[in-house]
Amino acid sequence: MSNKVGSGFGNFYRRVSGKILDIVAKPEVLGVIPEKLQSLSDAHNNTPALNNQSHDGSGEQSAVSTTKRNSSTRPICYVLFENSKSTALLVDSEARRRQLIAPFDPIEGAYFTEQSSVLYLKSGNEGSPFHSPNDSLSTRLMRFIDVLKQHRDADVELVPITVFWGRAPDKEDSMFKLLFADSWATPSALKQSVNIAIHGRQTFLEFHDPISLRDLIAETAQDLENTSAMSKRITQHLCGYLIRQREAVLGPDLSDRRNMVEDIISSQGVTDAIDREIARGNKLPNDVRLEARGYLDEIASDYAHSAVRFLEKTLTWLWTQLYDGVEVHHFQGVRSIADEYELVYTPSHRSHVDYLLMSYVIYKRGMVVPYIAAGDNLNIPGVGSLLRRAGAFFIRRSFKGSPLYVAVFKEYLHSILIRNHAIEYFIEGGRSRTGRLLPPKTGMLAMTIHSHMRASGKPIAFIPTYFGYERLMEGGTYVGEMSGKPKETESIWGIIKTLRKIERIFGKVHVSFGEPVFLDQVLTAHGADKIKVTDNNEPLSHEARLVVDDVAESIMRNINRAAVLNPVTLLSLVLLATPKHALDEETCIKQLDTYRSLAEAVPYDERVEITTLSGREIVAYGLKLKLIKRVNHLLGDMIAIADGQGVLLTYFRNNIVHLFIMPSLIASLVQHNGRISREEIGSVVQTLYPFLQA
């Protein structure tokens, strides 16, 4: 059975509808176009190369000039979740702009003849604007399967697509969002029209890696012979894949929040804690239950997409005031595992800005904002409620003396993890005042692993993340503390005070994502993968405690491996190594170039990012930031650390000093011994390096 190739009316409909849609919808493409999709599109294109400047006079590329012939024994076919013409038009328009095979291009080949290059997992009659598509199987998919049965050399490259008209997950208590934001429900044509009108400028689209239909059959439906049964199995697999992709962007369905609260209060761990509190005889049963609910209200986030959108706009303005740019490194690796893993972001903690910056970076790259563990000192009227609605949940500095609070908090954390929502907490606990990583605080980590061993959802991947600044909002405070002043208590007022100094903050900030730490691998390595925790109060076994320590150490190590060697850290390294913190300018430039070349030639890790500025450009950059000064001299200008900046530059040097441990150790051995063999160097390094690395 085959379909007639697209008619002139079909092309006219596509062009007119596409023009109308382009007026209201400007999609942002998440991630990158898969290389395989690009190469397959190029291979299938039998017409001359397209010119993006060739239009029909109205800003829209001509349908005739952009049509590709999707013709081979291995055609491309896009996969959309539901039968939505507006979604298909949006993808078609974006694919043409990027010179890809487009959904409305016909498939014409030796084995395939199809009117378009798209199939819908939820197909059906869209005749009524008040009904969503039904769940009947795609006839196009069944035709593909029949062809593959008949021809061993035939295949189809399925390209799943996710499209989001707005990014607010459903909330039971928000009727407006239930009606108008992209959510987990398949919209009717009427609701979709409203979605387009309201969220057209907040539309996101992602092209996923092509999947061989033949390989998919072998993987999921090899035991079946009936075409309909095979189609159903493959549809279920692709639906699951797209749902996981949606979850990575939208987060889990939040429509049952009230039920979640009731589940926590009535959970075995919390009810046992309530019973123990009642048994002490000091409080009435109802008062204890109210106390437990009060703790949950104190802790729990109340995520609202409107708050996230407000902060996005506010922070976009703020970053332009604070920084010359926010550079993000290695995020694609995070995106690639987001659909398969529960993500637990475990960044270093350098500044008050870290809280906001992390969520901002993740959200701007099209993924759901994590729930963030924040100190209860930030939970003050007004500010606390905004942070709570942006994903923060609050934690006390100490759990001592309140077993009921501990039970409620552990159950709340477990409820987040079991629902597969990303979370974030600072592995160091507090901000580093020295620039070096602090010893890890393992309390939250232990509770995370405890929850996973109790009832696992997705496998967990911890995401170590490095923050690298060139100037710090808290710089003055840190200088005082490193000079002997008592440490200031962290509070929202501290953030407000530092914001008053915006005009003095310059430079760039770097956010670099390290290699993930996969919990299941560590559990297996310590023989703890079969151990199950049955009770909220059950302590972790010896093997599980070893897992906690191993994961913590791996996170810290991977944060250091994702370091960024920026101009300020290089200047700090060079100038602080001199007796008077000053160098002849030309010598300083040569030293900077030497250190940069050394870092490139003998990289600490492949994830380390190194500034591309030359030594001369780095000096100019440091002068611009007023971190160094030029001192005129008859024999040649000197470069020196600016007044009052020495202690602060020590902080920045400490961010990256570990990158040069190995070269420094070898240089020290050569300098001390004069002559030394490679074998002797290897023996000494093997003995000393583990201690220096730590």
Interstrand relation of 211-212 and 157-165 (parallel, antiparallel or unpaired): antiparallel
The token pair that represents 33 in the structure block: 């176009």
Work out the burial of residue 313: count CB atoms within 10 Å of its CB; fewer than 13 is exposed, 13-18 middle, 19 or more buried: exposed
C-alpha to C-alpha distance for 160 and 242, rounded to whole angstroms: 7
Per-residue confidence (pLDDT) for residue 194, from 0 to 100: 52
List of domains in the chain: 8-250 (no CATH), 258-560 (3.40.1130), 564-693 (1.10.10.10)
604 Rama sector, left if φ>0, alpha if ψ -120 to 50, beta otherwise = alpha
Please report which confidence band the pLDDT of residue 18 belongs to, taking 50, 70 and 90 as the band edges.
low
Mean pLDDT of all residues in 245-265: 72
Burial class (CB in 10 A: 0-12, 13-18, 19+), 442: middle
Among the ranges 165-169, 193-197, 562-566, which has the highest mean pLDDT value?
562-566
Which H or E run includes 495? helix 492-499
Bigger pLDDT: 299 vs 282: 299
pLDDT of residue 171 exceeding 50, the answer is: no
Q: Using pLDDT thresholds of 50, 70 and 90, give the confidence band for residue 484.
A: low
Task: Kindly report which listed range (16-20, 264-268, 299-303) carries the lowest average pLDDT score.
Answer: 16-20
The mean per-residue pLDDT over the stretch 387-400 comes to 87
In this prediction, residue 310 carries a pLDDT of 86
pLDDT above 60: residue 255: no
Query: Residues 108-122: what's their mean pLDDT?
Result: 87
Query: Which residue bears the tokens 């926590």?
Result: 264
Q: Is the pLDDT of residue 87 over 50?
A: yes
Give percent above pLDDT 90 in the chain: 39
| 371 touches 421 (CB < 8 A) | yes
What are the beta bridge partners of residue 254?
Answer: 171
pLDDT at 195: 54
Identify the bridge partners of residue 207 per DSSP, sorted by sequence position: 161
CA distance 446 to 544: 9
Please say if the pLDDT value at position 219 is more than 80.
Answer: yes
Contact 15, 65 (CB under 8 A): no
- 232, 236, 242, 245: CA torsion to nearest 10: -160
Distances (CA, A) of 513 to 559, 562, 611: 8, 6, 17
Cα 134 from Cα 154, distance rounded (Å)? 30
Q: Give mean pLDDT, residues 657-666.
A: 91
Q: How far apart are CA 91 and CA 116, in angstroms?
A: 13
What count of Cα atoms within 13 Å lies in the side-chain half-sphere of residue 21?
A: 23
Q: Helical H runs in 7-125?
A: 8-24, 35-44, 63-66, 85-97
Dihedral (Cα; 230, 235, 236, 242), 10-degree rounding? 150
Residue 61: what pLDDT?
37
Position 491 scores a pLDDT of 56
Which residue, 475, 425, 198, 192, is CA-closest to 322? 475
Q: What is the mean pLDDT of residues 678-685?
A: 90
Q: Which of 655, 659, 657, 693 is nearest to 432 (CA)?
A: 655
Average pLDDT over residues 646-675: 91
Residue 173 binned pLDDT confidence (cut-offs 50, 70, 90): very low
Per-residue model confidence as pLDDT tens digits over 598-623: 999 999 999 999 999 999 999 999 99
Q: Which range (103-117, 127-141, 196-210, 222-236) has the least confidence?
A: 127-141
| Element (DSSP H or E) covering residue 213 | helix 213-220
Instruction: Indicate the pLDDT class of residue 46, thresholds 50, 70 and 90.
Output: low
Is 50 a residue whose pLDDT tops 90? no
Q: Residue 334 in contact with residue 517, Cβ under 8 Å?
A: no
> How high is the pLDDT of residue 23?
62
pLDDT of residue 499: 56
User: 660 pLDDT band (50/70/90 cuts)?
Assistant: very high
To the nearest whole number, what is the mean pLDDT of the chain? 82
What was the pLDDT predicted at 549?
A: 96
Residue 30 scores a pLDDT above 90: no
Q: What is the dihedral of CA 665, 669, 675, 679, to 10 degrees?
A: -70
Which stretch of 288-302, 464-478, 511-525, 581-595 has the lowest confidence by average pLDDT? 464-478
| pLDDT of 66 | 47
- Quote the pLDDT of residue 546: 96
pLDDT at 225: 85
Task: Please give the average per-residue pLDDT across 182-201, as a whole number.
Answer: 50
Instruction: Write down the residue that tokens 């008949």 correspond to.
Output: 150
Q: How confident is the model over 539-560, as a mean pLDDT?
A: 95
DSSP string covering 368-436: PPPEEEEEGGG--TTHHHHHHHTTEEEE-S--TT-HHHHHHHHHHHHHHHHTT--EE--TTSS--SSSS
Radius of gyration of the chain (CA): 29
Position 604 scores a pLDDT of 92
Q: What is the pLDDT of residue 185?
A: 45
CA distance 469 to 480: 19
Q: Give the whole-angstrom CA distance, residue 386 versus residue 392.
A: 9
- Residues 633/655, Cβ–Cβ less than 8 Å: no
Contact 353, 502 (CB under 8 A): no
Query: What pLDDT sits at residue 176?
Result: 43
Q: How confident is the model at residue 47 (pLDDT cuts 50, 70, 90)?
A: very low
Instruction: Answer whether residue 131 shows pLDDT above 50.
Output: no
Mean pLDDT across 635-646: 89
Picking from 541, 372, 408, 519, the residue whose alpha carbon sits closest to that of residue 458 is 519
